[in-house]
Amino acid sequence: MPLPVLYVVHQRRPATGRVARILSALGYPGEVRRPIHGDDLPPTMDGHAADVIFGGPMSANDDSAYIREEIRWLEHV
């Protein structure tokens, strides 16, 4: 079985939509994390096939702690 795809969403309801349906049909399970709601992101991408980061009402330029942490995470992984 393939490794799961990590979906990073920024809304309470995980709206992974068409992307998750297509990847699931290809055999990739999914794992949803919501940093805006306190979910931790994994320290590495070991154990994941890929990550898909969805947008939301915020901007990458906003001065929110979780956005800064998510950008640092992206630079690290």
Domain with residue 11: its CATH number is 3.40.50.880
How do the residues of the chain divide into helix, strand and coil, expressed in percent and rounded to 5? Answer: 30, 15, 55
Per-residue pLDDT, 59: 78
Per-residue pLDDT reduced to its tens digit, 12-58: 776 899 999 999 999 999 999 999 889 999 999 999 999 999 987 77
How far is residue 13's CA from residue 72's CA, in Å, rounded to a whole number?
Answer: 24
Comparison of pLDDT for 10 and 12, the residue scoring more? 10
What is the extent of the structural domain holding 54? Answer: 5-76
Query: Does residue 62 sit in helix, strand or coil?
Result: coil
How many domains does one find in the chain? 1
Q: Rounded to the nearest 5 degrees, what angle is found at the Cα of 24, between the Cα atoms of 49 and 45?
A: 15
d(CA 4, CA 23): 9
Residue 3: the pLDDT is 98
DSSP 10: S
Q: What does the pLDDT read at residue 46? A: 96
Query: Taking the model in full, what pTM does it have?
Result: 0.88
